[in-house]
Amino acid sequence: MTNTPVDLYEQAVDKLERWQLDEAEELLRQLLDADPEHAKAVNKLGVVYARREQLDAAEELFQQAIALDPNDPAPYSNLGNIYAQREWNDRAKAAYEK
Residues 32/42, Cβ–Cβ less than 8 Å = yes
Q: How far apart are CA 44 and CA 48, in angstroms?
A: 6
Higher pLDDT, 1 or 68: 68
Spell 46-75 as b/e; 16+ CB within 10 A means b.
bbbbbeeeebeebbebbbbbbebbeeeebb
Count of domains in the chain? 1
Host domain of residue 49: 5-97
Instruction: Quote the pLDDT of residue 2.
Output: 64
Instruction: Quote the pLDDT of residue 22.
Output: 98
CATH number of domain containing 91: 1.25.40.10
Would you say the pTM of this structure is higher than 0.85? yes
CA distances to 33, 49, 53, 87 from 81, rounded to whole Å, are: 27, 13, 12, 10
Render pLDDT for 41-93 as a digit per residue (tens, 0 to 9).
Answer: 999 999 999 999 999 999 999 999 999 999 999 999 999 999 998 888 788 88
Given a cut of 70, whether residue 23 has pLDDT beyond it is: yes
Instruction: Quote the pLDDT of residue 35.
Output: 95
